Amino acid sequence: MNVFWTIVLGLVNAVVVGALVRRLITVGTGALRNTLVSLVMGLSIWPVTLQAFEMLQITQRGDVPFLGMSFPAVMVFLLIFGWFLTIQLYVMLAIELVLPSGSFTQVARTAARMPSWYRTTRRLWEIQGILFRFGLRRYLKPRMPSLRVSRRELARTAAEALAAAGVSFVKLGQFVATRADMIPSEFVEEFSALQSEVPPVPFSTIRPELEKAWGRPLEEVCREFDEEPLAAASVAQVHRAVLHSGEEVVVKVQRPNLRRQVRADSAIIMNLAERFENSAQWAKSIGLVEIARGFVESLAEELDYRGEARQMTILGRSVAQVSTALGGRAGSGAPDDAPRGGIVRIPEVYGALSGERVLVMDRMAGRPLSRSAEALAGTSTLVRREMCEQLFMTIARQMLDTGVFHADLHPGNIMVAPDGTLGLIDFGAVGRLDARDRRDVLTLLLAFDKQNSQAATNAVIDMFGMPPGTDLRRMQREIGQIMLRFDSGGAEEPSQSADPTAAGRSGGAASGFFRELLDFVFDHGFAMPTAVAQAFRAITTLEDSLRKLDPRSDLLGLVRSHGREVLAGSRNLRKTLDDTALYANATLPALASLPIEVSRVVKHLQDGSLDIGTSGLTTDLIRNLVRTVVDQLVQVVLATALVLGGVVMMAFDFGPPLAEQLTIFTYFGAWVLMAGMVLAGLVLAPALRDRRALLW
């Protein structure tokens, strides 16, 4: 037979064999590998058949296949075709075992990611060098060597290492400082002092980012733009500008090429957290991986200024509600030129000019509260008291009414204007409390004021749950002891001439109570939700800021004075009725079907067919599982029987001859053996499929 017909027959066989194999098995039959193997096998069928004819002394006449072929030649060709199909099936399974499907695609993806992996690896070695340089490598040991180094020294050294590591790690330290529920106080204090001040990016680099975000030249948007930034931080820098409409604004623009570094650092932070948690007991005890994961998620959100703009809009509504509730006047003792609409302000966002990497907002007048001691010294007591009241009411409404609140209320984030107004800035840390947590936080404040340890304990259990084996009475007693230590009724009032700075450092009764409560929660193994931890931090930092505004300020006193207003905002009658109606709509169908369900249970009890607690193992699931196992067992037994039977039949060389060197018994034994091999391959294929699912 000429070469042409050999190739034609080989291609036809390749198509047929490939299609049959893909129908028989569902693994290892990717288009590329199946095509290549089918071509090799298909082009080999006829040459092998000719060799078999020669060995078995079967004569093949003519140059065209099948034309003029004898009956024995046709039977042998069909047998060889069947065995080639079986061999290809096992070849595909073997390739799948060594090189699972998708490996070539995975290799291509890996090659594409090599530059990124190189940068990440180089950055990881840099971080490792910083750990060695600051002597932190030893803390990867199973036990923290606290006998040699004090916790304060360790916290200070860790803060220095974070500062040396750059942008993302400074942010990590600042984030960790907000988790006083998990981190010792020494670390909180040292990490809180971390500053993200860095040299500003040249304006020539910033300008293209602004024009890209605005879609037009800078001069078409701003009448004035200060190239020298007001502040430069690790993530962004802030510039003063004046729009063509006359408004004075600040423009917060993200540093160029920051996201690539943040992505690499985020991967490194997760890697280091996993290594610490696997090798050091102290890291495992505080759940370091979960802390790192929360930081990576919050950092990703912080890099998108659209979320910050939405948060500012929501917080602005709560400020407007407080202004309306308090009469829209800056205060009875405020200067005559004090602006109407309330003392506390939130910058207005210019949505048309803001986006993912640029945020444009009103410029808040004044100086930070942390640097306003001299200005406040000349302010009357009435004005300072009014400022405290409105700041408290604003945050209380945010936390207990809307549930979205400014979570970082330290004095640096509160601006004090010459006219007595206050401005809140830096909305990167915003907390969110659901309705149930809001109720529990309010209960804690009121219970502390009333020295009701039972109500406080109930609120703590509702917020954090109760660890197994907890002694409820002992827990209530310990919370009661904390409340007694910070009883405001026995606290001494600060003197009129008290130094506001000193007052801010000492803290008030409420902040002391919440700090002690955080230690209690941490020591007893409670799971602290991030939102609740942010609320606790907001309360403690708020009281410190209030005492800087007015040394006589008392957060619990404000709760007592304005408790009715806070309750009116968070629990109004209409909202309660709406919640009740919603709950009724959700529960009425279940109540309506309750008699039928009770009757069904009673019937099952009467006839003894009640089935209790199968942990998700239904009767149908068990039946299907048993059927699958039995089917596979039967297939294995049948395949084994066919293979053994085929071998035995081929071993006994007797019966009528099909060809000179081939008997009928041997011929059909080869078919039986082939059937057993195919059945065994079909049993093996699902196991490879399950293996691939586990690998990927």
Mean of all residue pLDDT scores within the chain: 75
Residue 196: strand, helix, or coil:
coil
Give the whole-angstrom CA distance, residue 518 versus residue 512: 10
Task: Please list, in sequence order, all residues whose beta carbon lies within 8 angstroms of the beta carbon of residue 653, skipping any fewer than 6 positions away.
Answer: 663, 665, 666
pLDDT tens-place string over residues 564-613 = 666 655 555 455 556 566 656 666 676 777 777 777 777 767 676 655 55
Higher per-residue pLDDT: 616 or 609: 609
Best-predicted range by mean pLDDT (28-32, 351-355, 544-548): 351-355
Q: Which of 81, 74, 82 is nearest to 56 (CA)?
A: 74
The pLDDT-based confidence of 3 (bands split at 50, 70, 90) is low
pLDDT at residue 509, rounded to an integer: 64
Instruction: Check whether 249 has a pLDDT greater than 90.
Output: yes
Region of 366 (left: φ > 0; alpha: ψ -120 to 50; beta: rest) is left
User: Strands 367-368 and 422-424, how do they pair?
Assistant: unpaired
Q: List, for residues 119-151, the tens digit of each pLDDT value.
A: 777 777 887 788 788 777 666 555 544 445 677
Question: What tens digit of pLDDT does each residue of 327-342 get?
Answer: 544 333 444 444 444 6
Does the pLDDT of residue 239 top 90, yes or no?
yes
The pair of structure tokens assigned to 367 is: 């100086």
Q: What angle (nearest 5°) sits at the alpha carbon of residue 404, between those of residues 525 and 348?
A: 145
- Per-residue pLDDT, 141: 56
Task: Tell me what pLDDT residue 570 has.
Answer: 55
pTM of the full predicted structure? 0.59
Report d(CA 417, CA 427) in Å as an integer: 19
In total, the chain counts a number of residues equal to 696
Render the burial of 246-275: b for 16+ CB within 10 Å, e for the rest. Answer: eeebbbbbbbeebeeebbbbbbbbeebbee
Write the pLDDT tens digit of every residue in 263-308. 888 888 888 788 878 877 767 766 778 878 878 887 888 788 888 8
pLDDT digits (tens, 9 = 90+) for 21-61: 666 665 555 666 777 777 777 777 778 877 887 788 777 65
